[in-house]
Structure 1
Amino acid sequence: MAKDFSRSHRVAEQMQREIADLLMFEIKDPRVGMITVTAVEVTGDMAHAKIFYSAAKQSDSTQQGLEKSAGFLRTQLAKRMLLRTVPQLHFVYDASIDNGMMMSKLIDEAIASDKTKS
């Protein structure tokens, strides 16, 4: 039976905190604006990490800015975390917040239309 809280989960949680801090205070790229790191998934062999993020406005330039700063972020993570190898960083836009807002809007519209019919 697998552990409920494996090493990859612990590393992912610490990476999420450290990357959020680095994005807030260290990254100077204007393409990378206000970004929220929603989740981090680290592979079992610690070779790759998917960083899921959401932004106020999704654009290709934001993705390019994050990919361009991946090397810097990886270097800073190596300094901050006690890992033998730091995973390669892959950034993925997390559309779940956008989907949730759209569903909430649809529910509000359905409730409003029910009230007008009554």
Structure 2
Amino acid sequence: MEDLTTLQSLDPRKVPISDLSPLTNLKNLRRLTIEKTKATDISSLTNLKNLEYLDLEDTAVTDFSPLQELTALQRIDLEGTSISVLSPLKGLQDLERITLRETPISKEDEILQGLKQRGVKVRI
């Protein structure tokens, strides 16, 4: 993976990968779909500063704080995850759309309401 530094899109959905550390050098990656994988730790994604789309649907990720480092994110799918706190998304100024179906997040969540007021399209 380290030799694929010009790669812009990667979609290993439903592949039983759990270790995302090989992705850390894919600095040109703009789109990443790791839906329905065994990924639990997304801290190695913090180097992906050009990432615009991230799909974490139905993963076992529990710590979403690394998302705050992905400032180019425009769309993120967190459907079916255990996310319960949206504070890591609060500072993502380029965020346009977020999917939160089948998560513990309440429609009345204060940060969620703030995202909506900024014009972020929310699917919950």
Same fold (TM over 0.5): no
Q: What's the TM-score once normalised by structure 1's chain length? A: 0.25
Q: What's the TM-score once normalised by structure 2's chain length? A: 0.24
Greater RCO structure (CA 8 Å; 6+ sep)? 1
Please identify which structure carries the higher helix content: 1
Please identify which structure carries the higher strand content: 1
Q: Which has the larger radius of gyration?
A: 1
